[in-house]
Amino acid sequence: MTESEQTGEDAVPTATLPLDAWHRDRGGRMVEFAGYWMPIQYEGIMAEHLWVRENAGLFDVSHMGQLLLSGDGAAAALEAIVPGDIAALKPGRMRYSLLLAEDGGVLDDLMITNEGDQYGIVVNGAVKWDDIGYLRENLPDHITLNHNEDYGLLALQGPKAVDALARLVPDVAALVFMQAIPAEWQGHAIGISRSGYTGEDGFEISLPNEALAAFADALCAMEEVKPIGLGARDSLRLEAGLPLYGHDLSPEIDPVEADLGFAVGKRRRGEENFPGAARILGHLEEGPPRRRAGLLIDGKVPVREGAKLFDGEQEIGVVTSGGFAPSVGAPIAMGYVPRDHAVPGTALAAEVRGKRVPCTVAAMPFVPHRYVRKQGG
């Protein structure tokens, strides 16, 4: 019996991506995620993960919300609800930021791109409708917010991604990390950024829904590109030490606790005029009571989300993400522990099926990022 049947509510049907048939035709094993049927794997999570580390993998992330924000004072309007310095964001540049609740808790993490005449915002699929409602409620009436449902989003990730994509759109080779350009492909207006959420070099490509299949086919016809599922995307971002909203981030956690203090701009810290500023600035100055920390697991038993963390017999924290890390060759995890326990080298234990599994706090990322940055930047 489903939860909706138990509560007597009408069930909300699971949505399909524009490329649903494309994934199924290629052997994608489909699962429900963020309200959509999405491919978790094609040939296997381990093989797909390692392929991305060495070649280029194509991910369908069209479940994400692509929003467009415009109007006079759009940057200031955004700064009323995020802690980043949006006014300083130059055209063609993008910034990771956080949508904040009134008390400084994280409602979502998102990417903001200055597209010249508007700001493009990519939000997480699982909470995009909540985000849209929150933005409409908190943005001034003269600011226009559009949800671009006619476009899908693909992510091409891995060291050979630039070579593959440049065959279709040569201009991408000149981009650096967190830079974006408008482009054209077979008469379609598309947007490309050198970004992604695997820790590898790569790109995210926004395309009209009707062009997605042809573009995906063109990429996957190249020997270095394979379609990759959600399973490998999760293990890659975990090795990269990147938090996942709804797991490692939530309204109960503020940016400093999440080890995302870099998202609070220097100017914004001085102005103290973003949601939850007193709490967040206090944690920046004095240290937060708890902090997101990486964990190396002793042995082969994976430690999953929800596992309790112990220092001796004292329960001190909880795992928020965990699993086997193919590139590390061992299980890893991340979770929240008191600040004084978040020091790399600290010995802890996780409880798995009633047994204690030794683990050690580790610096993140577990696998170094390979972003292509501006020379000297």
Tens-digit pLDDT profile for residues 18-56: 999 999 999 999 999 999 999 999 999 999 999 999 999
- When pLDDT is cut at 50, 70 and 90, the band that residue 8 belongs to is very low
170 contacts 183 by C-beta, under 8 angstroms: no
Mean pLDDT of 266-277: 98
Answer yes or no: do 374 and 293 share one domain: yes
166 contacts 149 by C-beta, under 8 angstroms: no
In a domain, 210, yes or no: yes
Answer yes or no: do 299 and 231 share one domain: no
pLDDT at 377 over 60: no
Mean pLDDT of 104-133: 98
Mean pLDDT of 287-301: 97
- When pLDDT is cut at 50, 70 and 90, the band that residue 288 belongs to is very high
Res 12: pLDDT: 81
Answer yes or no: do 182 and 57 share one domain: yes
The CATH number of whichever domain residue 54 belongs to comes to: 3.30.1360.120
> What is the pTM for the complete model shown?
0.95
pLDDT at 6 over 90: no
Tokens found for residue 360: 């050690």
- Among the candidates 222, 239, 256, a domain finishes at 239
Res 10: pLDDT: 61
Chain centroid offset of residue 145 CA: 22
Of the chain, the end-to-end C-alpha distance in Å amounts to 54
In a domain, 91, yes or no: no
- Among the candidates 176, 205, 239, a domain finishes at 239
Mean pLDDT of 263-269: 98
How far apart are the C-alpha atoms of 338 and 374, rounded to whole Å?
36
Answer yes or no: do 222 and 296 share one domain: no
What number of helices (H) and strands (E) belong to the chain? Answer: 10, 20
The CATH number of whichever domain residue 299 belongs to comes to: 2.40.30.110
Answer yes or no: do 207 and 321 share one domain: no
Total of domains in the chain:
2
Answer yes or no: do 16 and 161 share one domain: yes
Res 7: pLDDT: 41
pLDDT at 226 over 80: yes
Answer yes or no: do 50 and 170 share one domain: yes
Res 374: pLDDT: 83
- When pLDDT is cut at 50, 70 and 90, the band that residue 264 belongs to is very high
Burial zone of 228 (CB within 10 Å; 0-12 exposed, 13-18 middle, 19+ buried): buried
Q: Model confidence over 197-221: pLDDT tens digits? A: 999 999 999 999 999 999 999 999 9
**pLDDT, averaged across the chain:** 96
Answer yes or no: do 40 and 155 share one domain: yes
Res 358: pLDDT: 98
Answer yes or no: do 25 and 156 share one domain: yes
Answer yes or no: do 193 and 307 share one domain: no
Q: What size, in residues, is the chain?
A: 377
Q: Model confidence over 60-97: pLDDT tens digits? A: 999 999 999 999 999 999 999 999 999 999 999 999 99
In a domain, 80, yes or no: no
In a domain, 67, yes or no: no
- Among the candidates 200, 217, 239, a domain finishes at 239
Beta partners for 170?
none
Find, among 232, 189, 212, the residue nearest to 62 by Cα: 212
Residue 328: which domain range? 289-377
Looking only at Cα atoms, what is the longest distance across the chain?
64
Q: Where does 55-140 have alpha helices with state H?
A: 74-79, 128-138
In a domain, 284, yes or no: no
Chain centroid offset of residue 273 CA: 26
Answer yes or no: do 56 and 163 share one domain: yes
How far apart are the C-alpha atoms of 265 and 285, rounded to whole Å?
14
In a domain, 194, yes or no: yes
- Looking at residue 347, its amino acid is A
Q: Say how many CA atoms lie within 13 Å of 148 toward its Cβ.
A: 21
pLDDT at 1 over 50: no
In a domain, 262, yes or no: no
In a domain, 310, yes or no: yes
Answer yes or no: do 156 and 234 share one domain: yes
pLDDT at 335 over 70: yes
- When pLDDT is cut at 50, 70 and 90, the band that residue 9 belongs to is low
